[in-house]
């Protein structure tokens, strides 16, 4: 059981280049999220989705776009990368539930923008 899979694991970009991070989950979860982790800042929510075809902004959405065309996939796009977007990106998913809403995370994607 793969859980949450992120592609690619590592990427180096030059300023102004574009790229897409792919997140795939095989748990049939309704909700999906993209977070970034920076030293001293913890995990900050970029965008999230509560169902196929829906997306919403999180705390730090500027410079990113997302799409959820299929329930199992959540794509994070950077149209014009900036050095400030150097970070580790985590995708997560959770089921629709009345409980704590535990998130299941991928292993992370380390992005460096030069």
Cβ–Cβ under 8 Å, residues 93 and 6:
no
Least CB distance from residue 100 to another protein, whole Å? 4
Candidate ranges 11-19, 28-36, 64-72, 77-85; the one touching another protein (CB under 8 A): 28-36
Q: Are 55 and 69 in contact (CB under 8 A)?
A: no
Is 43 a binding residue for another protein by CB under 8 A? The answer is yes
The Cα–Cα gap between 98 and 5 comes to 25
Among 8, 16, 95, 101, binds another protein (CB under 8 A): 101
Dihedral sign, CA of 102, 60, 66, 9? Answer: negative
Q: Which of 45, 61, 71, 73 binds another protein (CB under 8 A)?
A: 45
* C-alpha to C-alpha distance for 23 and 68, rounded to whole angstroms: 10
Beta bridge partners of 22: 7, 75
Beta carbon of residue 102, minimum distance to another protein (angstroms, whole number): 5
In a 3-state reduction of DSSP, which class is residue 63? coil
The minimum distance between CB 15 and another protein, in angstroms, equals 26
For residues 19 and 43, which CB has a smaller minimum distance to another protein in the complex? 43
The answer to the question of residue 111 lying near another protein (CB under 8 A) is: no
Told to check if 22 binds another protein by CB under 8 A, we report no
């Amino acid at each position: 059981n793969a859980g949450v899979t992120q592609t690619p694991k590592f990427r180096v970009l030059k300023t102004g280049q574009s790229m897409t991070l792919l997140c795939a989950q095989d748990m049939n979860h309704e909700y999906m999220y993209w977070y970034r982790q920076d030293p001293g800042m913890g995990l900050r929510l970029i965008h999230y989705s509560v169902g196929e075809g829906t997306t919403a902004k999180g705390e730090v959405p500027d410079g990113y776009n997302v799409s959820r065309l299929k329930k199992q996939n959540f794509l994070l796009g950077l149209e014009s990368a900036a050095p400030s977007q150097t970070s580790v990106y985590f995708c997560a998913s959770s089921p629709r539930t009345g409980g704590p809403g535990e998130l299941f995370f991928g292993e992370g994607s380390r992005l460096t923008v030069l």
